[in-house]
Amino acid sequence: MSVSGSLEAIKLADMVQMCCLASVDGDLQLTHGGFVGHIFLRKGQVVHADAANRIGEEALYLLLTLTQGWFEFRPDVVVEQESISAEWEYLLIEAARCKDELPVLVFPPSSKPMGKLAEMLQMYCLAFMEGVVSVQQEGILGRIYLREGQIVHAQVHKKNGEEALFELLCLEEATFAFQSDLDIPEDSIYGHWEHLLNEGARRKRELEARRALHGDLTCFKLSDIVQMCCVSGMSGDLQLMHDGIFGDIYLNEGRIVHAQAGLHKGEKALHFLLSFRQGGYEFQKGEMSPEETIQGQWEYLLLEAARLRDEHAPVGESALGESINTNGRIELLVKRCRAVRGFKGAVLLNSKGSILASSFAPFEPRLLDLVTKCVNLYRGLESELAVGNGNLEKCFVMNFQENSFLAITQPQHLILLLVDRKNSADPQILELAKTLRQLDDTYI
């Protein structure tokens, strides 16, 4: 997957334009329920389209009326048939000119299928099976218990009951396995399985609607993605991650209003993030920016970032490539933590205090100096602290400026979380620290 998203958030014409400007080869696939359409590109030109028993320009113009459903660009998909020869600029202008004369694809309310986990649960319930379904995805480990074909209990992290079940049903790429004849805990779920799976599907649709755009930087530059979001007038948070290094670009009605990466914010953070050449991204629709640190027009900001990138070594190929990482563990840690309010980054160290992995780029050497000071201070006080005097609700905290480091011990590792100082005593942060301290090292 290179990029996929919702046609309610991104206009299909804007997506086609981005593909053509990037001179990509592949298949732009459109889906809604059982409907499937295709727009094929070769070297940035539209060469074929098919939908609803139509091909060529007729199919393309019909697809460009879509305002519901999902798109996914699949790179390097080759098509032999050529039914379109006109330039892409002409095609988009012609589609806009005659849109009032064209038939329009309209669908009843629908969405993606309920998901593989829900389908398997449905099968287990219909077969009156009894046992536990273990669910795992990127460090998340949960369980769903069945008795006589009914879902009676679920747990993930510190959640139990229906909320735990719905969280597991919303996972995108989870693996799961069924085991029978195991002890089943006391019931915490009492609804009928059909109602529960329907509610899980509804919540998953809501989650997908907020996740308007997601993908990786295989085919498109990040500046292309940002430009498309701005042209589409989107509001929300474009979240980025590469090898555990992460950041956010916030938009408000198509304007870039804030960016943050590590200790940096504003245009400096924006320029750093726009230099990413690898990694993944996800646009969370409707997420409000915590502050406004960028004032310029998006066109100027992207041009300035390109100028700076040309003058300096590309961060995506040099500094990011030198970032410390170990088996992707820091990325799992960041994914677990970044939804927590005030979280800025994490450092993973071994029991001797040596850095194994960091979510901060090497362009922040003063931060790594602070890590060393924090570790030395923590190790000097460790015997007295006795990990919060045995109280899992307490953490060792080191403050500097507007930030705080929280030290969390595991059997083989020490985790340092960097958070906003004002959030260091937030119950959500403390619960996260408690959960991490109790986890096995394998499931950071």
pLDDT in tens, 192-246: 999 999 999 888 877 777 778 999 998 899 999 999 999 999 999 999 988 778 8
Q: Would you say residue 18 has pLDDT above 90?
A: yes
Q: Please count the other Cβ atoms lying within 10 Å of the Cβ belonging to residue 319.
A: 16
100-104 long-range contacts (CB < 8 A, ≥24 apart) are 102/61, 102/62, 102/65, 103/62, 103/65, 104/65
* Rounded mean pLDDT, 114-143: 87
* Rounded mean pLDDT, 267-275: 91
pLDDT attached to residue 322: 42
- Is-contact 127 52, C-beta < 8 A? no
**Which H or E element spans position 165?**
helix 162-169
Q: Would you say residue 167 has pLDDT above 60?
A: yes
pLDDT in tens, 19-33: 999 999 999 999 987
pLDDT attached to residue 315: 45
* Rounded mean pLDDT, 83-110: 81
pLDDT attached to residue 8: 86
Q: Which two tokens stand for residue 77?
A: 């998909």
**Which H or E element spans position 239?**
strand 236-242
Q: Would you say residue 323 has pLDDT above 60?
A: no
Mean pLDDT of the chain: 82
pLDDT attached to residue 366: 67
Share of the chain above pLDDT 70, in %: 84
Residue 172 DSSP code? S
Nearest to 234 by CA among 77, 405, 40, 11: 11
- Map out the domains of the chain as residue ranges: 3-108, 116-208, 217-320, 324-443
Lowest mean pLDDT among 299-308, 331-340, 389-398, 413-422: 389-398
Topology annotation, domain 324-443: Beta-Lactamase (3.30.450)
